[in-house]
Amino acid sequence: MTHPAVFCVTGKKKSGKTTTTVGLVRELVSRGFVVATAKHGHHFELDREGKDSYRHRYEGGAVATVLSGPEGYAVVGTWPTGEETLDVLVSRYLSHADIVIAEGHKSSGYPRFEVYRRAAHREALYGSADAGDGEYLAVVTDVLDLVAEVPVIDANDPQRFGIMADIVETRLEKAE
């Protein structure tokens, strides 16, 4: 089985990462790709007190629980040695996809799109010490005069997700 191509959607808090991730995923799925996502977050919990999965973990002490049913599945658990890398998450849980779009994970080293809105933050991550390690593919922004060595995509352009998907497809073609 081949490893799926991974692309990140990064940006500071409240910049529009989730909206951008959803739009890009929708566009890629409409083009026939099997797309999975990974979301990096802080202080979240999927299972609720009183539910069986919660009891398995917190009363029984299970390190991980897979919730499954006809509608889908989820994996909840505790990191045995600290948070896993995006590489490990993709290979362990998302290897059946053609493409993984990871929201966040700016330190992963994967190619990325940054979402930057001036109303949310004074400066972009692009070009800063906090930019992360991955190659920038484009910056999706409302600051159209942003100076960048990558494409600057208008965050208000209704075609922005198609433009991003074109960049992803071009990258996939080069990898073949």
pLDDT score for 1: 46
Q: Which tokens in the block code for residue 52?
A: 């069986």
Q: What is the mean pLDDT of the chain?
A: 89
Task: Give a yes or no: residue 74 inside a domain.
Answer: no
Q: What is the CATH number of the domain that holds 88?
A: 3.40.50.300
Contact 8, 131 (CB under 8 A): no
Distance separating alpha carbons of residues 77 and 75, to the nearest angstrom:
7
Task: Give a yes or no: residue 104 inside a domain.
Answer: yes
Task: Give a yes or no: residue 127 inside a domain.
Answer: yes
Task: Give a yes or no: residue 54 inside a domain.
Answer: no
DSSP sequence for 10-46: E-STTSSHHHHHHHHHHHHHHTT--EEEEE--SS--S
Q: What is the pLDDT of residues 13-33, one digit of tens each?
A: 999 999 999 999 999 999 999
Task: Give a yes or no: residue 147 inside a domain.
Answer: yes
% of residues, the chain, pLDDT over 70: 95
pLDDT score for 142: 96
Total count of domains within the chain = 1
Q: What is the pLDDT of residues 107-126, one digit of tens each?
A: 889 999 999 999 889 999 99
Per the structure, the complete domain to which residue 104 belongs is given by 5-42+83-175
pLDDT score for 166: 98
Contact 120, 13 (CB under 8 A): yes
Task: Give a yes or no: residue 165 inside a domain.
Answer: yes
Q: What is the pLDDT of residues 51-97, one digit of tens each?
A: 888 888 888 888 788 888 888 888 887 777 888 889 988 998 899 99
- The model's confidence at residue 43, banded by pLDDT at 50, 70 and 90, is low
Q: Could you tell me the CA-to-CA distances from 34 to 7, 11, 156 in Å, in that order?
A: 14, 24, 26
Task: Give a yes or no: residue 159 inside a domain.
Answer: yes
Long-range contacts of 41-50 (CB under 8 A, 24+ apart): 41/104, 45/76, 46/74, 46/76, 47/76
Contact 66, 73 (CB under 8 A): yes
Task: Give a yes or no: residue 59 inside a domain.
Answer: no
Let me know how many helices (H) and strands (E) the chain has, helices first: 4, 8
Contact 142, 117 (CB under 8 A): yes
